[in-house]
Amino acid sequence: MNRRENGFGCLLFLLLCALVLGSGWLQAQTFRVATYNVENYLDHPTESRPHPKSSEARARVRESIRAVNPDVLALQEMGGVSALQELCDSLKSEGLDFPYWEHVSGFDTNIHVAILSRFPITARRPHTNDSFLLGGRRFRVSRGFAEVDIQVNSNYSFTLITAHLKSKRPVPEADEAEERLAEAKILRGIISERLAANPNVNLVVAGDFNDTKDSASIKAILGRGKSKLLDTRPAERNGDSAPNPPFEPRTITWTHYYGKEDTYSRLDYILLSPGMAREWLPAETYVLTLPDWGVGSDHRPLVAAFSAGEK
């Protein structure tokens, strides 16, 4: 072997070592966090949700996920662990591997929240039994909250909380808006604890909050003052960017279609702590547009991108 071949062999060996050992040479420089309500992603019928997800709908969900190509994905309306495993296996067969995952069950035994990650999950804090009082009656948070710490590289980590708050569908037990607000206040309590412990914490709060930005529940989650979360407000990548003072630009930001009322609303959010906002890449943050998106779900996925280093 001549000197050039020997040098090439050494370089190849070092690159392989970097892959195996996670050397800083090949660590992620940016990463993407997405959230997606996958609408009753069930692999078997339940008493209140009798229709499992069709193969066509599952395929369109996977197509949407592959299109945003997230490194970390927050999911709502996921079925049981077996349904999540089917989704992971199917995505892996199509080239998108999430070796780390979290599945959280709350009071609702039909649909759940979950997190998929390409990066290691280093801590898990599931919130499965939070409760509140309304009209003298005790309620539990229906879907719970999934909370994990994720190690992006040796120098950067963040915390992700995902939630699926009470829907706008009326229920006989309580006023749906009051129930959703109570859940939002519990979620804000968790957020406030993290920020009190470390005001610079890298925190992403994402999911289906089932309300619009000026509602009491969204205002409760956002908070105020130095601990207020930043609303990334993802929009379609269609070229609309003209200013609209004193409001946000007239970009297309809806994430959910409600067939009963024939309405399109922004009910899904990616919110950031002040510390996480410093790494946010607005130009790489958007709502996915995809033909026949509604075959997969009544929601559209949204994604935000970040630099993988403290700023």
The full DSSP string for 100-127 is: EEEEE--S-SS-EEEEEESSPEEEE--B
Cβ neighbours around 278 below 10 Å, total: 15
What pLDDT score does 50 carry? Answer: 87
Give me the residue label for tokens 């996925």. 301
Cα distances (angstroms) measured from residue 246 to each of 91, 214, 243, 249, 250: 42, 15, 9, 9, 11
Q: Tell me how far apart the alpha carbons of residues 137 and 15 are, in angstroms, rounded to a whole number.
A: 61
Q: Is 166 helix (H, G, I), strand (E, B) or coil?
A: coil
Rg (the chain; Cα; Å): 21
CATH number for the domain including 198? 3.60.10.10
- Domain membership flag for residue 171: yes
Q: What is the mean pLDDT of the chain?
A: 92
How many structural domains compose the chain?
1
Dump pLDDT digits (tens) for 241-269: 888 888 888 999 999 999 999 999 999 99
Q: Which residues of the chain have pLDDT under 50?
A: 1-5, 10-11, 13-25
Q: Tell me how far apart the alpha carbons of residues 175 and 286 are, in angstroms, rounded to a whole number.
A: 33
Dump pLDDT digits (tens) for 287-310: 999 999 999 999 999 999 999 999
DSSP 1: -
CB distance 208 to 75 below 8 Å: no
- Domain membership flag for residue 15: no
- Domain membership flag for residue 97: yes
Contacts 24+ apart (CB under 8 A), 80-84: 80/42, 80/43, 80/112, 82/43, 82/44, 83/41, 83/42, 83/43, 83/53, 84/114, 84/116
CA quadruple 73, 38, 110, 142: dihedral, nearest 10: 70
- Domain membership flag for residue 25: no
CB distance 151 to 120 below 8 Å: yes
- Domain membership flag for residue 8: no
Domain that holds residue 297: 32-307
Ramachandran category for residue 116: left, alpha or beta (phi over 0 → left; psi -120 to 50 → alpha): beta
Provide the percentage of residues in the chain whose pLDDT is more than 70: 92
- Domain membership flag for residue 17: no
- Domain membership flag for residue 236: yes
